[in-house]
Each structure stands twice: as C-alpha cells, then as structure tokens.
C-alpha cells in the first residue's frame, strides 16, 4: 500500500493509479481529494504515486512501533536491498523494543539493506 493523500484512508495498492476527484460523487470528498493531491504534488491517474527524492514515513507512528512490527518488517527486508536514493529509517517505539530488536538480531537485518552505498540513517527511540 502507498498513500496518495493526507490521511490513512487515502491509500491504494502500489500497483494502482491515483484516483481522480472527478470520480468522487460527494462534493466534500471531491474537494478533500483535490486538496490532498495538490498538497502531495500528484496527478489523477498517476501510476506509482511514491514521490522521488523526498522523505517519507511509512508505518505506524514511532511511539506505537512494537517488537512484532519490527519482526514483520525484518521478515520483509531480509536478504533485500533498499533502492538507490532511498534511505531506510527504523524507529523502535521504546528503548525496551530497541533492546529486544538488538537481542533478536533484527538491527543487523535493518542495517544490511542500507549498504547500497548510501549513508545509513540514524535510528532513534522514544523515551
């Protein structure tokens, strides 16, 4: 999934096209979509709305990232690399989650994809 707008409800499968405000029957939803697309600098019908060269936060907000979230993300990233020009940032929800991820070896899985010549991003933890 990838978001094309300004709230979690504005998401589509990564293979879908950005929706058009003209297809929205409700005037309020139409205007909200128009504003969102303008804010996100996207065009209706655009394929792959992921912006190039911009920072994006994917996943839950940092204070709610649990060890189970990190395990799942690590299972997806294992043996993969991050695309050129993309910086991977992993933000555990607490120091406890960070320590557990390190004990389980998840930190190494998150460091590995960043080794594509890009400078690794710093990790942080909520207090």
Under a CB-based contact definition with an 8 Å cutoff, are residues 18 and 42 in contact? yes
44-96: pLDDT as tens digits:
998 866 655 555 545 555 556 788 888 988 888 888 877 777 777 777 878 88
Q: What is the largest CA-CA distance in the chain?
A: 52
Pairing state between β 2-3 and 11-12? antiparallel
> Which of 19 and 87 is assigned the larger pLDDT?
19
pLDDT of residue 79: 84
Q: The pTM is what?
A: 0.48
Beta carbons within 10 angstroms of residue 8's beta carbon: 8
pLDDT of residue 6: 75
3-class secondary-structure state, position 12: strand
Under a CB-based contact definition with an 8 Å cutoff, are residues 12 and 6 in contact? no
Under a CB-based contact definition with an 8 Å cutoff, are residues 91 and 65 in contact? yes
Alpha carbon distance 114, 94 (integer Å): 22
Alpha carbon distance 91, 24 (integer Å): 36
């Amino acid at each position: 999934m990838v978001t094309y707008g300004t709230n979690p409800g504005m998401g589509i499968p990564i293979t879908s096209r950005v929706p058009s405000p003209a297809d929205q029957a409700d005037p309020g939803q139409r205007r909200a979509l128009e504003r969102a697309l303008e804010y996100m600098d996207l065009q209706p019908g655009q394929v792959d709305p992921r912006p190039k060269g911009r920072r994006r936060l994917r996943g839950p907000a940092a204070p709610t990232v649990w060890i189970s979230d990190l395990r799942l993300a690590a299972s997806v990233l294992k043996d993969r690399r991050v695309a050129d020009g993309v910086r991977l940032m992993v933000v555990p929800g607490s120091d406890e989650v960070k320590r557990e991820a390190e004990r389980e070896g998840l930190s190494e899985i998150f460091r590995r994809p960043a080794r594509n010549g890009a400078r690794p991003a710093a990790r942080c933890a909520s207090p």
